[in-house]
Amino acid sequence: MTMMTSPMNKEEDQTGVSPNYESRNGAPILWFLLHTQEGDGDAQSLANYLQNPNSGVSYHYTVDNSGTVIGVVDTDLASWSVLSGNPQSINLCFAGSRVAWTRDEWFSNMQRGIDCAVWIAVQDCRKYGIPIRTISPEELGNDQAGIADHNAYTIGKHNGSHTDVGPNFPWDYLHSKLSEYSGS
């Protein structure tokens, strides 16, 4: 059996700094959701913003294309990312990313970041018993568990207006990395 090598260059646990979280109140964790920042920056600068009590937002992880991953909110707690879906989701944001990116821009600006996101998703899906598969907005809306994005939550739950990660996100590439990192 071949051991997989993590794509992460640097992983830093800064959980406990951000005040922007709450209890899951016993809700089951169903989804691992992906987000875009819609701004410039790297994993650390985004984490710094999320650690500000006035920001009113948080994610469990920030990731950038250098392979840096910052843990912002402990996954046993709910980050403030997807409105009423917070207690049931783990949320990761690609620092410096945008919904409007083309497929080529995703690859040139965030391919290693996607690798890191998939690596983390596989680990957290195993930890929380989430199936290692992507799900459609309809499946999310019916509370089926899996990996999706903020847009799937918006459509599936008719809650909010966010469309990230955008129509050009390379889901086929994510699927291939899910297979590689999960060994399935």
Res. 5: pLDDT tops 90: no
Residue 91: beta bridge partners? 33
Report pLDDT digits (tens) over 29-38.
999 999 999 9
Give the pLDDT of residue 125.
98
Report pLDDT digits (tens) over 69-113.
999 999 999 999 999 999 999 999 999 999 999 999 999 999 999
Domain ranges of the chain: 27-182
Res. 161: pLDDT tops 90: yes
Hunting for tokens 């497929």 — which residue is that?
103
What letter would DSSP give residue 86? G
Stretch 151-164: mean pLDDT: 97
Who contacts 99 (Cβ-Cβ below 8 Å, separation ≥6)?
A: 36, 38, 163, 164, 165, 166
Give the pLDDT of residue 4.
76
Give the pLDDT of residue 3.
62
**Please, which pLDDT band fits residue 2 given cuts at 50, 70 and 90?**
low
Which tokens go with 178? 């899910």
The CATH superfamily label for domain 27-182 reads Peptidoglycan recognition protein-like (3.40.80.10)
Task: Give the side-chain half-sphere CA count within 13 A for 147.
Answer: 22
Give the pLDDT of residue 184.
78
Q: How far is 147 from 152, CA to CA, in rounded Å?
A: 10
Share of the chain above pLDDT 90, in %: 96
Share of the chain above pLDDT 70, in %: 98
Q: How far is 145 from 160, CA to CA, in rounded Å?
A: 20
